[in-house]
Structure formats: structure tokens, C-alpha cells
Chains A and B, each alone.
Chain A
Amino acid sequence: MSEAVVETQALTKKYGEFVALDQLSISLQRGQILGFIGPNGAGKTTAIKILVGLARPTAGQARIAGVDCVREARKIKHLVGYMPDRFGSYDNMRVREYLDFFGAAFKIPWQRRRQRIDQVLETTGSTYMADRFVETLSHGMQQRIGIARTLLHDPEVLILDEPANGLDPQARIEMRELLLHLAAMGKTLIVTSHILPELSRICDRVAILTHGRLRASGTMDEIMTQVRQKRLIEVQLPNHAQFQQASQTLAQALGDHAAVVPSEAEAILRFETDRPDDDLGRVLALLVSSGIRVSQFRAVVSDLEDAFLNVTRSEADAA
């Protein structure tokens, strides 16, 4: 197993009495993509700000490539490329001039800077925008230029706050491909997004935050195991003729009437269960032996959205 590039230990940030981040511990290896998800105000941006040296934690540690994010904030700037959720446009500036400024700010030697600008424009597929004025670019174009800017000084870690926000479907697909391309280049990425299907397609690891606390983290499979102990099973009938009979037989088989959720319009019966596959086979056999025609008996595949909703719902229930 390779060494962790991003690592936080019991990271805590308090604003007076308000706890913005509570004991966050995560780790991420080189070339991986971490999806940071959580509702608004969950503490994602606070965690990111600590990682990029823009905020100081109240307690805990954060390290990037072995460098302490608090004590060595200057070094962190060279190691991290950060794209905030706001683009940070400058008026009357062309894209090339914009990138030139940030290149100069990062002290990239001027002989190499032009070449580097061409490289990052090519990587992000933005070469054709080089002479455009930054403020006239569309949102999708600005996001690309934002990523080009973060790549200028060739950082090890890229932290992108809502890169897919406000993008049309085509631009979202392009953004997804770009992020995968960057990971393939060996960059480690931390990405926040509200568009969960997008994240689930690209992330190696996911961290779910609510109210400043880490509720679940790991690979997609690990997350599903953590947040969903029960599977959702659907019983699809060919028509409504045997719907009532099927509902009663299923409830009888499960031993719990309340567990079955009927949807007569779809001719589907749903239930959540933690029974093993053998037991489920017996339930199906009972239905068939009772003369009920079953067209499909399937487990519904959970996705990140389900996991996220599960976490936030259980949080609300606990409250």
C-alpha cells in the first residue's frame, strides 16, 4: 500500500460555540479521487480551507505530502492547487494574461511559463480560449480555466470545490473525463459536489459529512455496507390481478405486514430486509407455490444518492 498523500487526524474547527468540523480523520493515497459530500453547512469547505492553509484548525492535524498544513502553510501553496467554488474573474484580462499572472505569482520562470500555459490549456482542452476575455467565458469554460490555473505550478494535490456546479450535461461529461485524466496523470484529487451520480462515477473514495462530522467514508462498496444494512427487494407482478393476494402472501412470508410497501400502479411490492439470499429464495418459492405469477424478483442496486439520503435521514431521525 502506498503512502497517504492527504491525511487528517481528529481535525476540529470551532467558531465560538459552533462546531464547524468535528474530529475529521481521513486519508487519501496518490492518484486517488476523494469525493467530499454533505449538505450545505456540513463542514466540507471548512475542511478544504484547513487543507489549503486558508484556515487554522482548533485542534487536530492535517498533512499533505508530509507537510503540515498549519505550520508550513507556505509550502502547502506549492503542493496544492485549489479551485474555490467562485471563479475569481478579473475584468479586461485575456485567458493567457490571467494564467500568466498566476504563473508569475507562483514564480514559474518566464522562459518556461509560456510553455507551461500552453500545456495546461491543452490538458484542459482550452487552447482555443487563450485570447478570449476571462469575464466573457461561459460557466463551463471558466471551470476549465479554473482547473488550468490550479495545474500551472504542477501541484501534487488538486482540491476542487464544486467543479461540476452549474454545468450542462455535455460539460459535466467533459469535466468528468478531465478529472479522470488528471488522476491518471498521478494527481491526487479532492472533489466536492452536490451532483452525486457524477461523483460516484469518478471517485475512488467517498467521505460523507453532516454537521461537521464524518458519517461514512471509504470506497463506494464500503460506504454502501456502512450506511445500508438492509437491502431493498422488488417483486414485479405481470398485472394487478393477483396484487392483493401477493401482498398478503409476502407479508405472511416475512412475518411483518408493515414491511411490505405496495405500489399498485406499478404492480410492484417492495420490502427492506437483512435476510440472506437463501431465505429470499424461500420467499420467492412460497409466492410461486401459492400460484402467484412473478415476472421479476430483484434486489435494487443502491447508489451514492441513496447512501447520502440514508445518512442524512438517520441523522434527522436521531435529532
Chain B
Amino acid sequence: MTCPPDPGRRAFLSAIPVLTAGIAAPARAADTRSPHWGMLVDTRRCIACQACTMACAMENATPEGAFRTVVATYAVTTAEGATGLSIVPRLCNHCEKPPCVEVCPVGATFKREDGAVLVDGDRCVGCAYCVQACPYDARFVNHETGKADKCTFCSHRVEAGLLPACVETCVGGARIFGDLHNPESEISKRLKEAGNAVSVLKPEANTRPNVFYIGLDAALAGRVDGVSAADMMWRPDHQGG
């Protein structure tokens, strides 16, 4: 025979949600302004381990050979003959003036109030016009869904109070994600501290990216005049995917 529940314990348990809501409510009331998400990539801290690439692929179940983020890696040899490694972690820039939104014929791509540029999968027709319009090569057509795919700043995680998978997993703490509207956020402080050392990819495209870089080699901020070690590279058409 089971014992009847202790009325004291039941009262305590049923009161928890009320207490939780009571604690959370003042915080929400004080923060009336919606966040504006952005990311800062400190390339000096990146070791090109591709943990972010893998974490993103696992988290978002991207098809084999398709990536929402990747760390492009370059061997740069100076005139003096010294060779060093330069890296450019790349993802959707969640631009303030996103060209992908303008061209989408059905309005499936949109910019949310919190700054994230997202795709409404129900509406997307898979025409790939947004893929063509993106100056950063950040979009692709997912061949499993036949629809446009891209980085979402891991919106599903952010809404649950978590960090994007690439940020969470970054070994060197090179990716800083946060609210650009909040002057007390880590990203705002770091951007302020870095001052003129902050740059963006392809500033000439006038898209006003929300992904910022510290330590970015200007020669690598767009199309790079150089050769590619194509045979060493991942080629979905050659290696499957």
C-alpha cells in the first residue's frame, strides 16, 4: 500500500513554479529592450582545430560536405621568406543590410528583431537566389531538404539560454557571442576595448555584418589572390556528400 503524499511536500513542490516566475519577472521587466546578437571572432586565439566546424555540423545536422561555419586556413609567406598560418573562421554575418533578404522572391529569408537572419523553411522554394546574393558564401541549398540553409546563430540554443554550438566548443575562446545592445555584455566590452583593431569581412559590400574580427589579415577578408591546395581540400563532389 502506498503512502498518501505529504501535503507539506506537495505544497512546497507546487509553489516552486510561482517562486521561479516571481524571481524571473523583475529581471524581464527591467530588460525591456530586445537583444541584438552578434559575434566577435578573435583570430589570435583561434588554433584552426575545426572544433567549431564539427560542433556546428553535429548540432545542426548539416548534410555531409555542407558547412554552416568553417575555419579557412592559409599558409602566408612573406617577402622575407617567413611562412606563417593565418585563419579566417567564417559563418553567416547576420548583416544589418542582408542582400539575401532583398532578393528572396517569397520572403522566406528574414531578419529577426534580435538580429539573426533566418530562413522560413515552410516558405522557402529552394530557388537559391539568396545563395547567389550572399557575398560571404555563407549559404547553400541543403540537398536533403532542397531548401536554403545557413548559420542561425544556433537560435534554438540561444532561445533556451545556451550559447551557439561553435562558441560553446571553441577551445581557445576565440568566438564571443552576445548582445550588442547591452554595454555590459562581454562582446560589447571586448569590441570597445579593441577599438580600431576590429574589422569585418568584405566591408566594401556595405552589408554591415554583425560578425566582427580581431586580428584579421585584410588580404584574407574576401576573395584571396592566391593558390589553393585543392588536392588537399575537402571537395564534396570528389569525396562524396
A binds B: no
Interface residues of A (CB under 8 A from B): none
